[in-house]
Structure 1
């Protein structure tokens, strides 16, 4: 496993996106736990979660409690594992998430996340998505206060544009450590944000780096170079995709989701897959 950095913390170059283990279509809890354990067995030391990853039946926080249970039951040393969680979305039964970027909500949500994760301080807390009803500066100000109070150790943002990244870093006093945006072969609209983060040593965490649940075949049909190079190298297209994203910048840390242990085990191997310059150029043009 190769490593990269989020702020002052060394993490595996590939993380685990735990969302698929708690939303609709999720596996049974024993398989979900095995999937997280498989990630840890493979050397993954970054797990991404959020309080809003849940279903109608569970209420807020299902994914966080699942991650905490898996870490507690893994026989190895988890002291080097960074759990990144997010706040600012509220699960709504039967529909999409509601947004709440108010300081009161974010502060309460962070404290509840801390309790569910069973930690004294959250390693990385990210503002999940801008709330059009609250100024971005106000929401990030609440994150700054959570950091100053010791509720969270590091701060990041998600689903942010260039202006919001710059504003967040300013409000946080230069302490913004991560940006988590959607990015994959099929979704490259955050390429500018990725480059901006790499230039400023801010970790960029692509979510849905493989195109999203159930879309793998479509993605590789639309972008055939990934499957073609995978066949040439004798590895999966998913592994090639993650290796390509890693090659785009030393601050890029993809967080593929997984529902099965086999999936995250294969994804973890992308950290050690070195592509040729010609491969990278070909994939970027695909």
Structure 2
């Protein structure tokens, strides 16, 4: 019987890449663009030049997964991505979403009718200046439309060559299992709220692990709540790091399917976030973080 790892020994190094759908490699620590839109993801945040600087620096630092959505702005952030990065470098995966219509900073509704999903995808293709979206994610399931019809629309887009892979956003484990059982279109990713303090979606994560599905956690830093968490701060001091970097490093260690895409409008903050990929936590540090009280 092999001995347990010494508590101060480094934990196994997290895999740096994940293969979406088994054939599309991305570095697991990516960049999310929500902070390029204003409060309520309405209008712009900062200038176009600032957005361009952050997006281009992300690619310079090796990011290969940029995640956006058609309702950020709305439309504006997809246009910022294209303005900064088109023509897209080889190996860069640009993911976007459709299915949520925002009419103001406070008002939005879910729209899952097949004809509207197809139209929204066409608009994203136009704004992103591309013929095919690498990862197109249904932003929410529409309760007024049968799941099979929504997934069928995504299958049509995939069959038409307008979408390479399909993902889901804000789903339960039961919804993902139902979508997989329908077997209408392969699901290669999900996005849900998840971080070291918020593990409500743990059953979904375990299902993703079992099925080889990427899990892109949103609010990976607890919407800023982990930037000064005392336990993260204590561990950070031993690594010459920041609490945010420790929270992101925990995600990379915690599961090989977790692919965080923290968002920021600051180049300095972007560089800090991406530095988390180099942090190797110890067995004891992982245990301390695992033991933190999760959201009930």
TM-score, normalised to structure 1's length?
0.90
Question: Partner residue of 2:190?
Answer: 179
Question: Partner residue of 1:33?
Answer: 52
Structure 1: stretches of 5+ with no match in the other structure: 55-59
Residue 170 of structure 1: how far off its partner (Å):
3.2
Whether the 8 Å CA contact 1:102–1:139 is kept in 2: the answer is yes
C-alpha distance 168-94 of structure 1, shift in aligned 2 (>3 A): same
Whether the 8 Å CA contact 2:239–2:279 is kept in 1: the answer is no
Q: Superposed, which structure 2 residues align to 1:266-281 within 5 Å? A: 266-281=272-287
Of 82, 85, 91 in structure 2, the residue corresponding to residue 68 of structure 1 is 82
Whether the 8 Å CA contact 2:99–2:117 is kept in 1: the answer is yes
Q: For 1:28 and 1:157, locate their aligned partners in 2 and report how far apart those are by CA, in whole Å.
A: 30
Question: Partner residue of 1:198?
Answer: 209
1:118-174 per-position Cα deviation (integer Å, ceiling 9, x unaligned): 111110000001222222232122111211121101000000001111122234446
Q: Superposed, which structure 2 residues align to 1:1-286 within 5 Å? A: 2-7=16-21, 8-24=23-39, 26-54=45-73, 60-72=74-86, 78-173=89-184, 175-212=186-223, 215-216=224-225, 219=226, 223-286=229-292
Question: Partner residue of 2:3?
Answer: none
Q: For 2:51 and 2:221, locate their aligned partners in 1 and report how far apart those are by CA, in whole Å.
A: 19
Residue 72 of structure 1: how far off its partner (Å):
2.5
Structure 2: stretches of 5+ with no match in the other structure: 1-14
Residue 38 of structure 1: how far off its partner (Å):
1.4
Q: RMSD value over aligned CA atoms?
A: 1.7
Whether the 8 Å CA contact 2:151–2:185 is kept in 1: the answer is no
1:20-56 per-position Cα deviation (integer Å, ceiling 9, x unaligned): 10232722211111111111111001000000001xx
Residue 198 of structure 1: how far off its partner (Å):
1.3
Number of residues of Structure 1 aligned to a counterpart in Structure 2 = 273
Q: Secondary structure at the match of 1:206?
A: strand
TM-score, normalised to structure 2's length?
0.87
Indicate the larger mover: 89-98 or 63-72.
Answer: 89-98
Indicate the larger mover: 64-73 or 236-245.
Answer: 64-73
Q: Secondary structure at the match of 1:181?
A: strand
Find runs of 4+ consecutive structure 1 residues off by over 4 angstroms.
none
Q: Secondary structure at the match of 2:196?
A: coil
Residue 6 of structure 1: how far off its partner (Å):
1.4
